[in-house]
Amino acid sequence: MLVIQGLPGIGKTTIAKAIFNLIAYRFEGSIFLEKVRETSRTNEGILQLQEAIYSEILGGGNLKAHGVSKRINVIMEILRHKRILLILDDVDKLVQVENLLGKCDWFAFGSRIIITTREEKVLSTLQEDCHLTYYNYRVKELNQLESHELFCQHAFKRNKPTKDYLELVDHFIHYAKGLPSALEIIGADLYKRDIQYWNSILEKYKKFLNPDIQQVLKISYDGLDQTQRDIFLDIACLFKGFYKEVVVHILQISYSYDPFCDIEKLIDKGLIIVDNGKLVMHGLIQQMGFEIDRQEVEVSKKHRRLSCYTYEDALEALNGDTGLDEIRGITLSLPQPRKMQLNLEKMRGLKYLIIRNVIYEDLKSFPNGLRLLDWNEFPLSSLPSTFEPTKLVVLNMRWSHIKLDEHFEV
């Protein structure tokens, strides 16, 4: 058994199809079952998948047994002496495999089972139960050379770009960060387009994720419950780059329960990665989070998380007088130091505040519900006297202008 695991759009299905086409002729029966996750949502869909295994591998005939469990037994009895190649594409729950193959302990010697999944640990128990030689392969992002070749095949229908497009090609490859589906979608969109179009769409992609890429990536997000979705958006918009233990502690205070299990679920789905103890994510996954959050604002007309990286975006989002009490988190990171006025005292629901390169001279107060206050080079000599940080979990004011009392002890 080989389990191929990785991000949506990373190439799991493409690899599985290539293997199938290469070796299927060696077996007494073979089948490639696509969209197992989607088809298995209904009992009728499960029955269709079982029927497909039975008829395709035996070369015709109908599975006459009724009910999912009875059909599993029939499939096992007939195929246990047959050397087969079976590929289950896009599995996200162990029960989807069990509904088709039982406990996977009946296959004839020499059979091969290949499963593609976005979930890191969903099939881990199979390794102990199935009594098969078990391999797990995680598909990695393409390197620079591979990305360049794949992108050019779709954007130019050849392996190299024309001279005028060299620099732009590098920008798009950097944007896609090795995700094959993104390189293919963007490359196809740019085919036979002039340089003006390339420059224009590059600027657009920096602000808005291509809808086709969004659709591919959002599959993992759609499989989350509501709390897990909220935590994912909090990390994408506010906590990317923070230490995992710190984020768990912050969210535990905010959500009034231990969110460790939900963060582990996000890791299993590949939505976030732990690197040297810090929570990071693929750039396009983060942009998907920004886009989902933006779409939620369009529906509710209320901001919950603000991630502003330009002065203009910050002015538009923060200078109003309505809806400010709905904001729970702000990341305001300007490329250059700028003076700004923030109505922080009106943001009664604010829990997370991250500020970079903002010169603020008339700060009256912070909301007392803050869990995170992260303001490098804080410009004032002291915190507002009315601020009561009873719920504060993390305070980071590196290189601030705060003056400590001479009797203050660290």
Q: Answer yes or no: do 113 and 148 share one domain.
A: no
Cα–Cα distances in Å, from 235 out to 4, 7, 228, 276? 26, 18, 11, 16
Residue 267 CA to residue 244 CA, distance in Å, equals 11
Total tally of structural domains belonging to the chain: 3
Q: How far apart are CA 317 and CA 311, in angstroms?
A: 10
273 exposure class (CB count in 10 Å sphere: 0-12, 13-18, 19+): middle
Same domain, 314 and 180: no
- Asked whether the beta carbons of 337 and 401 are under 8 A apart, the reply is no
Q: What is the pLDDT of residue 276?
A: 95
**76 lies in some domain:** yes
d(CA 235, CA 244): 10
Looking at the DSSP bridge assignments, the partners of residue 112 are 85
Same domain, yes or no: 133 and 151: no
In whole angstroms, how large is the CA radius of gyration of the chain?
A: 26
Q: Does a structural domain hold residue 401?
A: no
Q: Are residues 299 and 170 part of one domain? A: no
Question: Which of residues 155, 180, 207 is at a domain's end?
Answer: 207
265: its two tokens: 């679920």
Query: Do residue 31 and residue 87 come from a single domain?
Result: yes
Supply the pLDDT for residue 409: 47
CATH number of the domain to which 119 belongs: 3.40.50.300
CATH number, domain at 254?
3.80.10
Q: Are 24 and 233 in contact (CB under 8 A)?
A: no
Instruction: Tell me how crowded residue 386 is: count the other CB atoms within 10 A of its CB.
Output: 10
In a domain, 214, yes or no: no
Quote the pLDDT of residue 379.
83
Same domain flag for 132 and 151: no
- Inside any domain, residue 306: yes
Q: Which of 92, 121, 138 is the last residue of a domain?
A: 138
Residues 96 and 154 in one domain: no
pLDDT at residue 405, as a whole number: 60
24 domain residue, yes or no: yes
Q: What is the pLDDT of residue 100?
A: 87
**Residue 166 resides in a domain:** yes
Whether 46 and 119 share a structural domain:
yes
| DSSP 8-state secondary structure symbol assigned to residue 236 | I
Report yes or no on 372 lying in a domain.
Answer: yes
Q: Has residue 38 been placed in a domain?
A: yes
Regarding whether 289 and 239 lie in a shared domain, the answer is yes
Instruction: Identify the domain containing residue 48 by its residue range.
Output: 2-138
For residues 279 and 179, state if they share a domain. Answer: no
Q: What angle do CA 105, 110, 111 make, to 5 degrees?
A: 55
- pTM given for the model: 0.87
Is 248 in the same domain as 374?
yes
Mark the ranges of the chain whose per-residue pLDDT is less than 50: 407-410
Domain boundary among the residues 106, 138, 170 is at 138
Q: Are residues 126 and 157 in the same domain?
A: no
